[in-house]
């Protein structure tokens, strides 16, 4: 087991906490949990790039980070 695989296996349960938290609570808490889950998924995809030696995962992680940032800026006006 490489260090990147250990990091990937560690990040997945951490990702599940805000992912499940985004299904309940007030709208503000759901948005914050969704943003946290999006950023954790970015880290998971970045770690998967090194585990599986596929550069496409890093491209997907960067695209997700940009979309997540734009979503945060858009939702900031509504909350």
How do residues 12-52 score in pLDDT, each as one tens digit?
999 999 999 989 888 888 888 989 999 999 999 999 999 99
Q: Domain residues for 52?
A: 3-76
**How many Å is the maximal CA-CA distance in the chain?**
45
Q: Which pTM does this prediction carry? A: 0.84
Cα–Cα distance measured from residue 31 to residue 47, given in angstroms and rounded to the nearest whole number = 25
61's CB contacts (< 8 A; 6+ apart) are: 42, 43, 45, 46, 49
Structurally, how many domains does the chain consist of? 1
């Amino acid at each position: 087991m490489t260090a990147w695989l250990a990091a990937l296996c560690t990040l997945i349960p951490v990702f599940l906490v805000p992912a499940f938290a985004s299904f309940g609570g007030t709208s503000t808490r759901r948005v914050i949990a969704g943003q946290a889950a999006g950023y954790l998924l970015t880290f998971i995809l970045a770690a998967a790039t090194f585990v599986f030696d596929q550069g496409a995962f890093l491209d997907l992680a960067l695209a997700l980070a940009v979309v997540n940032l734009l979503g945060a800026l858009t939702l900031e006006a509504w909350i």
